[in-house]
Amino acid sequence: MSNTTKLIIAVVGVFVIGFAMVGSNKTQTIEEIEAGSMIRNYVAIQTMATDKCPKAIKKETGEQVFFPKETKSDKETYVTLSWEGENAKTGGFQIASCTLLASLGGISELVIDDKVIIKKD
């Protein structure tokens, strides 16, 4: 064999080994797929809650809320966000709590100053 043929065989061999390594690394285990799915689900319900809850609070109170004081969640089925009112001393609300259930795809409970505004099961 000539040196050129040996070089071509070596380059082709490197490419074959490279493709085999990349192909074998792309396979995910079932646990990795489940973990990724759980994270995407949690992000989806968290995003939905931070979008819908402030709008519902503003509709009821006229006050805009920005950052929740507290967040509770089981990271799978629900997210509960709580806000403190900024204008409580001048007649605004003191505490607003909003729960979003993933199974409903929206707000399941909205409570402002211990008054239930929305309650869905």
Residue-wise pLDDT for 27-60, tens only, equals 778 898 888 899 999 999 999 999 999 999 999 9
**DSSP string for residues in 39-93:** HHHHHHHHHHHHHHHHHHHHHHHS----S-SEEEE-SSSEEEEEEE-TTGGGT--
Q: Contact at 8 Å (CB) between 85 and 61?
A: yes
Q: Residue 49 is which amino acid?
A: A
pTM listed for this prediction = 0.72
Residue-range domain boundaries for the chain: 3-119
pLDDT digit string (tens) for 81-97?
A: 999 988 877 888 999 99
pLDDT of residue 21: 73
Edge-first strand listing for the sheet containing 106-112: 70-73, 78-84, 95-101, 106-112, 115-119
Phi-psi region of 83 (alpha: psi -120 to 50; beta: other; left: phi over 0): beta
Give Cα 1 to chain centroid, integer Å. 60
